[in-house]
Amino acid sequence: MTEKALDIGFIQRVLFIILAIAASLLIFKLLSLWLLIFGAIVIATVLRALAEPLIKYTPLNDTLAILTVLVAVLALISLTFFLFGYELVAQTQNLTKQIPVAWAALQVRLQQLGLNDEVQKQMATVGQQASGLASKLPLIAGSIFSALANLLVATIAGIILAIDPGKYRDGVVFLFADDHKEKVRDAMNVAGRALRLWFIGQFISMVLVGTLTGFGLWFLHVPSALALGMVSGLAQFVPIVGPVVSAGPGLLLAAVSGWQTFLWALVIYVGVSQMESNFITPAVQRQIASIPVIITLFAVVGFAGLLGTMGVLFAMPLTVIIYTLVRKLYDGEDVTQGKGKGPARSLLKPKAAKAD
């Protein structure tokens, strides 16, 4: 009997290990699906955050409020492109033409300064690698088309999710044991609120950084200042890495105009970056505890290696959710109240709590 019991216990453990490995492989194979689901959650978070004032202060129900916000967002985007689209497209096209010319001019200037041949060789190698990207344009175009298709699917799913997030949250909570349901529900509420607050703060930060950078480069008469400002603003979505990479084209174009312009442009990029990290971000995200810089850095690198380009874009939203869940589930700490003055209603609270 003992040997038979041992055999059965051994078989059960082996089967459990096999199932765990199979589940891990399935999760890894479906990474693109999980990323698509997370994209829908991100879109739902943004739409729900914008619709909450309408739900709370107007007679509109959840569905009409979400659809109203969606129409307003599309109208705002259309108006922005109508007012600035032509100039922005023109400057972006000029930027793509000016960067290779500026790179060649910079090499000439460096050669006039008497740089050694090894430095010139390394810079030429970098230039050849950059120009080699042109041969990959069809592959890049295919990736962009695939990304747009995924964005459409995520948008539709995000709209459905935003209309009644509590329903889908409770569906996830149902998978857990009764003893843990309330704890998981509370943690998901906090994670939803943290993501919403982070997005609001990040959007304000992106707008301010893009505006300040574009205006500063325009004042220095750097070509395509509007496009460079837009690039700097969008790059704020990827912390640490994004601002550094986005400064490259602006500094390159400024260097062609002379070293004095280059130094002033460097001052603008560094100054705006310091203003963002020390004043803008703390001011607009004062209701959410900040994530340590080292975690942010490793998150960007880790998700980039795991998920590629999309991992870089979603690195911070994923980190916000994971960090919030860990702090709530293991420490019982609500990071959204780390700097606030009291609790606020979460994105994922059920409808019955709307009157809070």
pLDDT at residue 199, rounded to an integer: 85
pLDDT at residue 166, rounded to an integer: 84
Does the pLDDT value for residue 300 go beyond 60? yes
pLDDT: is 97 or 250 the higher one? 250
Cα separation, 327 vs 333, whole angstroms: 6
Q: H or E stretch including 219?
A: helix 178-219
Q: Is the dihedral of CA 160, 161, 163, 169 positive or negative?
A: positive
pLDDT band at 126 (very low <50, low <70, confident <90, very high): low
How far is the CA of 7 from the CAs of 14, 19, 47, 329, in angstroms?
Answer: 10, 18, 55, 37
Write out the two tokens for 132.
């080699």
Cα separation, 276 vs 228, whole angstroms: 17
Model confidence pLDDT, tens digit, residues 177-187: 888 888 888 88
The candidate with the shortest Cα–Cα distance to 287, out of 345, 211, 210, is: 345
Does the pLDDT value for residue 13 go beyond 70? yes
Least confident of 42-51, 57-66, 127-136, 327-336: 127-136
Cα separation, 314 vs 43, whole angstroms: 12
Cα separation, 334 vs 305, whole angstroms: 30
pLDDT at residue 345, rounded to an integer: 37
pLDDT at residue 185, rounded to an integer: 86
Does the pLDDT value for residue 96 go beyond 50? yes
Q: How many CB atoms lie within 10 A of CB 53?
A: 11
pLDDT at residue 115, rounded to an integer: 56
Q: State the average pLDDT for the chain.
A: 75
pLDDT band at 134 (very low <50, low <70, confident <90, very high): very low
Looking at residues 272-281, what average pLDDT do you find? 81
Cα separation, 299 vs 316, whole angstroms: 7
Q: Is the dihedral of CA 161, 165, 167, 170 positive or negative?
A: positive
pLDDT: is 286 or 20 the higher one? 20
Q: Is residue 288 helix, strand or coil?
A: coil
pLDDT at residue 181, rounded to an integer: 83
For residue 348, what are the contacts with CB-CB under 8 A and spacing of at least 6?
165, 166, 169, 188, 189, 191, 192, 193
Model confidence pLDDT, tens digit, residues 194-236: 888 888 888 888 889 989 998 998 888 888 788 888 888 888 8
